[in-house]
Chain A
Amino acid sequence: MADVFDRVKAIIIDRLDVDEEKITLEASFKDDLEADSLDVVELVMELEDEFDMEIADEEAEKINTVGDAVNYINSQQ
C-alpha cells in the first residue's frame, strides 16, 4: 500500500490540478494550492472515501495544510 502522503498527493493532483512539486506537507490548500472553501470540503470527502473513515466537521475545519490531512489520517489508523 502506498504511503499516506502519496495517496493524499494523488487525490490533490486529481482534484485541484496542481503540479506535484507544489504539494509539500507545509502547503496550505487555500494559499498555496489555490483551493477555495468548497474544494477543501470536497477534498475531505474524497479522503474519507480513500481511507474509509469519517472525518467530523470539527476535525475537517482544522485541516488547512497537506500535513494537517496526512497527520489526521495517520492518527486515525
Chain B
Amino acid sequence: MAAPAAVRPDFLKRGERSDMKLRVTVFPKACVLDPQGKAIERALGGLGFSGVGEVRTGKVMIVETAETDAARAKAAGEEMARKLLANTVIESFTVEIV
C-alpha cells in the first residue's frame, strides 16, 4: 500500500537499523467529544475509584528513524503527523524523540 511509502523519509533505507525513535502522541482536540474517554471515566467510577476526573483517550505511535539529528528527526515526525498520523481537523499531536 502506498501510504507508508509516501511518508518514508528520504534518509530511511530499507533494512537499515535505527537507534532513534519518534513517539507521536495523538489526541482528540479539547473541543471534540471523546465518547470513549467518557465511557472509561464512568467505568472507573463504577469500579470504585474515587476522585477520577475527565478521561481522554488517544493513541501513541512509535516510528523508527535512521536519522541521527534529533531536530531533523522531530521535524520529519511533525510532517508525518500533519500529513497522515493525525487528522488536524479533530486531533492534536506531539512528537518526542525517544
Q: Do A and B come from one complex?
A: no
Residues of B within 8 A of A (CB): none
